[in-house]
Structure 1
Amino acid sequence: MITKSTIDRIMEATDIAEVIGDFVQLKKRGANYIGLSPFANERTPSFTVSPAKGIFKDFSSGKGGSAVTFLMEHEKFTYPEALKWLAKKYGIEVEETVETTENREEENRRESLMIVTGFAAKFFQDSMWETDEGQSIGLSYFKERGFTNETIKKFELGYSPDQWEAFTSKAIAEGYKPEFLEESGLSVKRDNGSTYDRYRGRVMFPIHGFTGRVIAFGGRTLKSDKSVPKYVNSPESEIYHKSSVLYGLYFAKKAIRDEDNCYLVEGYADVLSVHQAGIENVVASSGTSLTVEQIRLIGRFTKNVTILYDGDAAGIKASLRGLDMILEEGLNVKVVLFPDGHDPDSYVRNVGTSAFKKYIDDNKKDFILYKTSILLKEAGNDPIKKAGVIREVVESIAKIPDSIKASVFIKECSYQMQIDERSLLTELNKMRLAKAKKDGQPTQNFQTPVEEMPNFEPVVPEIKETFTQEKEIVRLLLLYGNRMIDWDGIANTYIGPFMIAELSDVTFDNEACKAFVEDYRKEVENGVLPDEQHYIHHTDKGIVDLAVTMLATRYTLSENWYEMHKILVTDEQANMKATVLGGIFHLKKHKVGQILEKLRNELQTAQSEHDQEILLNQYARMKKVERHISDYLGSVILK
């Protein structure tokens, strides 16, 4: 187990905005940050990070918690794994209560696969740098391609010996289980039950996950035999889903955020050469067709994508339709076509960094306009083909969720295609209407931007649902439980213990609220006033989720809200007595209302006069209690 002192040091060092910023593009909004949910597909940001409170809240999926919770949810880490990841990030030495030895059989399956791929990555690197075969074949290949030692080591490139079982036998000898070697795709099982190396005789390109750990490999053959596949890639596994991975993203994500643009290339070598030239905001789809998941990965960091194609015009035309997915996800797409015979790898090595950047700036074209020119050129003067081009281009524009942006493209394309703008708009509206009807969506959908919505809650909301009333108690305990009371008639005590004492006769119905209040009660009895951090890092996930939901707010009120709108938002802290007692007695009034409803139902089914009399007496007493509470609420709230 990781010691409590180590955990405390990790928590103190952790900047939640910095941690989550490695995975999600965040923008400052007042004291908080907002971004698109990494757990749901959305176009309006609902993901909020509060550095002051050390929490995040995703209003789309309902997930929330600390930086540790985020890593557990997003990266599927266990609690210790998340802590160790943070410790590594912030250079904190992890102390454990028991000196443990590696016992691979006891590791959970996912972590076992991670350990195996990590071991393999080091094996392939050592094989290249420390053996004659590796240096003469693997290292010399990378050197011939123009890669420096720094690039080779940064991307952890390696070489797999040209032997049937060099890696497999070494891994088994080190104690790694064959089932994990096979599942990760590093070894292949023969019919007789023995295993051999999948990547023998290949140079190795490790594929890194979001946190920098190796999750898969691409192996390139150096043989000229046409019957041997040029590339062999890892199969799908519990840790590797190729449709959700972009090669080089781990090394590019900071640069993508900084440059607000992502260069998308095709292969490993393209990424390495462009990155080595100092242009680090580059990733590759690794030879596979671009997927929605990969587009959304890019969308976390930037809304701008520049596709860097080689000179294969036929390949470009084939991929045009697939790029509509990028538009549909709300990203801006530009296209750069390199001269015949060149791809990004060869061109940047040929002309250097400055000329490469200048070529991109001078030749990048918007995807819609580029597609229009390509298709028009192919259609020539054939009116039927030209009509098809018009429809195909408008179909692409219809994918763009931003209506203003779509209108601009309609205008540009009408000029380029020499067709009336109104005709294109009519066709665009037909397509959108048909799609909306097909998807069962309203034909008009207006949505208020996040930043225009105010952030306030009523002091005591008159809502009947039990959960809402009970959540209000949790919220008050979290926010104000450790404040001193200085009210007329009540003083020298804290709000938290006061509320707990006042609620001793109340039974909570919601399990999470009940667990929270019971935990708060135990802490108070032990002489501790628990703060919000106690609950953000609580071991009970239900309590954590509830606490984060109460602490997080989706909207923030701008500093000049009153000056702009002349709308005064009530500050509940101005009258804490009304806020706290209002919360307590509204809940009690609601509980009394539940009892009265139960008594009314029992009166309707009571058989004897004796039972009816007992129930009527109980009902009268409860009505009296209800009146007292109502009178008390009125006097407190109005003061």
Structure 2
Amino acid sequence: MITRETIDKVFETARVEEVIGDFVQLKRAGSNFKGLSPFSDERSPSFMVSPVKQIWKDFSSGKGGSVVTFLMEHEHFTYPEAIRYLANKYNIEIEETEVSQEDKIEANEKESMYLVSEFAKSYFHDTLLNTEEGKAIGLSYFKERGFTNETIAKFGLGYSPESWDAFTKEALAKGYQLEFLEKVGLTITREDGKHFDRFKGRVMFPIQSLSGRNLGFGGRILTNDKKAAKYLNSPESDIYHKSKVLYGIFHAKQAIAKQNNCYLVEGYTDVIQLHHAGVENVVASSGTALTPDQIRLINRLTKNITVLFDGDAAGLRASVRGIDLILEEGMNVKVCTFPDGDDPDSFARKNSYEDLVHYLENNAKDFIQFKASLLMDEAKNDPIKKADLIRDMVVSISKIPDRIKREIYIQETARIMDISEQVLLNTLAQLVQKDISEAGKKLKTEQKAFEVVKNDVQVAREKLDILSNLEISIINILVLYGNLETDFENIYVNFDEEGNEIEVKEKIKCKISERIFLSLQEDEISFTNPLFQEIYNDLIHNYVNNPSFEIVNYMNTLEEEHSSFISNLIMENERYTLAGWLEKKQVFVKEKDSEEVLTNLVTETLISLREYLINKLIVDLMNSFSAEEENSDLEEIKVMINDYNKLKVTLTNKIGRIRSTYL
């Protein structure tokens, strides 16, 4: 297990904005950063990162937490994996205690698959560099393509021996289980029980996630065997979903964010060759048709995509379908084609970095110009084909969410195709209306299903939400202000010399955490939500036992669920501040609070909780009336209800106004 000292050092060193910046394009927003949610499909940024508090919050999905929580949510790391990732990023040496056999057994299935995949990557790379077969066949192939040792190491390129089961034998000898070798698709077992290597006799391209975890492989055969596929990919598994992965994204992410543009190519060697030439903001769809998930992966880093095609006309028309998907995601797309006979790989090999960059910048066309130039020669003398081409261009424009962009592209199409702008606008309106109508039908169907569920639970949920909100408010006050001292008023009953009751008011100064604890303890109030109760108990314990207790450091010690909950509270307050809700919603923000405001906030929240619970007791007592009960019981219940109503009036008088009944 990783030692506590190492974990503390990781938290002290890691910067949440730097780590998340590797996955999401962040822009400064006051003292915070904002970006597009990496957890949902959105076009307006609602993802916030606080460098001061070292936390993040995604308002579109509700997720939030520390830098470790982000890696656990985004990359599906376990807690130790996230710590190791950060330690590696910041060059922190990991100190570990001995792992027990029981801990090894408890490692989950997905982690075992990652471990097998990482071992395979190391094995293939070592085979490439350190065996006669690997050097003679695999290494010579990569060298012929102009790849240096540095490039080969950077992408972890490898070679799988021609032997039927060389890799599988080695993996089993190292203690890796056949079950997981099969699940990640590295080993295939026949019906007779014999197993063999899926990628035998191929050069290997490891496929990595955005964070650098190895997910699968692409393998290229080097012989002229017509029965074997030229390229072979890992099959779908729990860790590899080809429609959600882009080859090269791990090595390209920082360059994409910095250049604010992503070059999209088709093959592994296209990516590697462009990297080798110095153009690093490039990824590939790994031989699959471009998918919305792949586009959204790029969208987290930039709004701009330049698609690179070779000069093959048939391939161009097949690939151009992906342009509409890019437009649907609200992204800007350009297209750059290479001269006949060239692809990104060959063109990069022939030209210097300066010439390559110059060509890419000067030959990238807007998608409208590209579509027109691609199909105009065919449609030039055929009115029907020309009409189809124009309609195809308008269909693409209709996919763009932004109305201003749509109109500009309509004007450009009208100019290029020499056609009335009004005709194009009418066609566009029909297409957009059709899309809206279809979306409306789908929404109505979903709403009907939702209403059935909503009506069944609405009343119970409203009641639960009131109590939950009150409990959350108390935790929120503890998180933001627990260590602050302010004046509170105690009111108690005394008797004068004649025995008459008199109300005595007394001001005392104490910490807010102490006031909340004593108030809830006095009334023996517990939270109904187990998570809230756990967090409340933990906060009170820390405030009592540690005078210098700070929330930011405390969060680093918490498990994921607790850390996420507390960071959500903090970032919600940040959101209110940025959105200008301070005045509109009377949200109290720490920097602007006076002692009097804080006192009122604490007092009002505690009284509101008491009122709610008293109302609930009164309703429960009223519901307990029944014809079978004895008169004495009824009288006793009436007395109790009357007493509770008096107490309720006393509470409402304390805050100077009658509050709404909750039930």
- Is this a same-fold pair by TM over 0.5? yes
Question: For the residues of structure 1 that align with 2:128 and 2:644, how far apart are their CA atoms?
Answer: 83
Structure 2 partner of 1:151: 151
Question: For the residues of structure 2 that align with 1:360 and 1:102, how far apart are their CA atoms?
Answer: 55
8 A contact 2:117–2:214 mirrored in 1: yes
Question: For the residues of structure 2 that align with 1:302 and 1:623, how far apart are their CA atoms?
Answer: 60
Structure 2 partner of 1:589: 611
Matched, 1:495 2:512: yes
Structure 2 partner of 1:353: 353
Q: Aligned letter for 1:544?
A: S
Q: Aligned letter for 1:382?
A: D
Question: For the residues of structure 2 that align with 1:144 and 1:216, how far apart are their CA atoms?
Answer: 25
Structure 1 partner of 2:199: 199
Q: CA deviation at 1:160?
A: 1.6
Structure 2 partner of 1:480: 481
Q: CA deviation at 1:341?
A: 0.1
Identity of aligned residues (%): 46
Q: Aligned letter for 1:502?
A: S
Matched, 1:624 2:646: yes
Q: Aligned letter for 2:486?
A: I
Distance change in 2, residues 1:72/1:579 (3 Å): same
Q: Greater CA deviation, 317-326 or 341-350?
A: 317-326
Q: CA deviation at 1:279?
A: 0.7
Q: CA deviation at 1:524?
A: 5.1
Q: CA deviation at 1:518?
A: 3.0
SS at match of 1:503: helix
Structure 1 partner of 2:571: 552
Distance change in 2, residues 1:99/1:185 (3 Å): closer
Per-residue CA distance 1:74-125 (angstroms, 9 max, x = gap):
2221112211221222222222333568997653221212111211112112
SS at match of 2:305: strand
Query: For residues 439-450 of structure 1, what are the structure 2 equivalents within 5 Å?
Result: 439-440=439-440
Question: For the residues of structure 1 that align with 2:416 and 2:189, how far apart are their CA atoms?
Answer: 58
Structure 1 partner of 2:292: 292
Question: For the residues of structure 2 that align with 1:72 and 1:545, how far apart are their CA atoms?
Answer: 11
SS at match of 1:422: helix
Question: For the residues of structure 2 that align with 1:567 and 1:68, how far apart are their CA atoms?
Answer: 32
Structure 2 partner of 1:337: 337
Structure 2 partner of 1:423: 423
8 A contact 2:11–2:556 mirrored in 1: no
8 A contact 1:127–1:159 mirrored in 2: yes
8 A contact 2:486–2:512 mirrored in 1: yes
Per-residue CA distance 1:554-592 (angstroms, 9 max, x = gap):
736469999xx9999875612211121122112222222
Per-residue CA distance 1:477-511 (angstroms, 9 max, x = gap):
11000112245754453110211111221332333
Structure 2 partner of 1:268: 268
Per-residue CA distance 1:264-320 (angstroms, 9 max, x = gap):
011111111110111100111111111111101100100000011001111111222
Q: CA deviation at 1:606?
A: 7.8
Q: Aligned letter for 1:590?
A: Y
Per-residue CA distance 1:221-278 (angstroms, 9 max, x = gap):
1112322221121111111111111111100000000000000011111111110111
Distance change in 2, residues 1:174/1:570 (3 Å): closer
Question: For the residues of structure 1 that align with 2:423 and 2:50, how far apart are their CA atoms?
Answer: 48
Query: For residues 32-431 of structure 1, what are the structure 2 equivalents within 5 Å?
Result: 32-98=32-98, 107-431=107-431
Q: Aligned letter for 2:184?
A: S
Distance change in 2, residues 1:576/1:557 (3 Å): closer
Structure 2 partner of 1:580: 602
Q: CA deviation at 1:512?
A: 2.8
Structure 2 partner of 1:470: 471
8 A contact 1:535–1:543 mirrored in 2: no
Structure 1 partner of 2:454: none
Q: Greater CA deviation, 565-574 or 471-480?
A: 565-574
8 A contact 2:248–2:283 mirrored in 1: yes
The unaligned stretches of length 5 or more in structure 1 are: 444-462
Q: Greater CA deviation, 239-248 or 379-388?
A: 379-388
Q: Aligned letter for 1:516?
A: I
Matched, 1:508 2:530: no
Q: Aligned letter for 2:262?
A: C
Question: For the residues of structure 2 that align with 1:101 and 1:150, how far apart are their CA atoms?
Answer: 38
SS at match of 1:440: helix
Question: For the residues of structure 2 that align with 1:217 and 1:535, how far apart are their CA atoms?
Answer: 41
Q: Greater CA deviation, 473-482 or 232-241?
A: 232-241
Structure 2 partner of 1:518: 537
Distance change in 2, residues 1:635/1:60 (3 Å): closer
SS at match of 1:237: coil
Question: For the residues of structure 1 that align with 2:474 and 2:59, how far apart are their CA atoms?
Answer: 21
8 A contact 2:483–2:543 mirrored in 1: no
8 A contact 2:69–2:564 mirrored in 1: no
Question: For the residues of structure 2 that align with 1:431 and 1:605, how far apart are their CA atoms?
Answer: 67
Question: For the residues of structure 1 that align with 2:340 and 2:378, how far apart are their CA atoms?
Answer: 18
Q: Aligned letter for 2:569?
A: M
Q: Greater CA deviation, 568-577 or 506-515?
A: 568-577
Distance change in 2, residues 1:93/1:440 (3 Å): same
Q: Greater CA deviation, 134-143 or 292-301?
A: 134-143
Q: CA deviation at 1:390?
A: 2.4
Question: For the residues of structure 1 that align with 2:237 and 2:639, how far apart are their CA atoms?
Answer: 68
SS at match of 2:655: helix
Distance change in 2, residues 1:467/1:101 (3 Å): closer
Q: Aligned letter for 2:567?
A: V
Q: Structure 1 length as normaliser, TM-score?
A: 0.90
Q: CA deviation at 1:72?
A: 1.4
SS at match of 1:439: helix
- Provide the alpha-carbon RMSD of the alignment: 2.9
Question: For the residues of structure 2 that align with 1:414 and 1:437, how far apart are their CA atoms?
Answer: 26
Distance change in 2, residues 1:570/1:110 (3 Å): closer
Question: For the residues of structure 1 that align with 2:202 and 2:356, how far apart are their CA atoms?
Answer: 30
Q: CA deviation at 1:216?
A: 1.2
SS at match of 1:555: helix
Structure 1 partner of 2:503: none
Q: Aligned letter for 2:48?
A: T
Distance change in 2, residues 1:285/1:441 (3 Å): same
Q: Aligned letter for 1:398?
A: S
Distance change in 2, residues 1:176/1:589 (3 Å): same
Q: Aligned letter for 2:538?
A: D
8 A contact 2:26–2:35 mirrored in 1: yes
8 A contact 1:255–1:280 mirrored in 2: yes
SS at match of 2:320: helix
Q: Aligned letter for 1:470?
A: E
Question: For the residues of structure 2 that align with 1:599 and 1:406, how far apart are their CA atoms?
Answer: 64
Q: CA deviation at 1:356?
A: 1.1
Distance change in 2, residues 1:290/1:102 (3 Å): farther
Question: For the residues of structure 2 that align with 1:168 and 1:126, how far apart are their CA atoms?
Answer: 15
SS at match of 1:235: coil
Q: Greater CA deviation, 522-531 or 12-21?
A: 522-531
SS at match of 2:25: coil
Q: CA deviation at 1:613?
A: 2.1
Structure 2 partner of 1:453: none
Question: For the residues of structure 2 that align with 1:397 and 1:210, how far apart are their CA atoms?
Answer: 31
Question: For the residues of structure 2 that align with 1:321 and 1:388, how far apart are their CA atoms?
Answer: 15
8 A contact 1:523–1:529 mirrored in 2: no
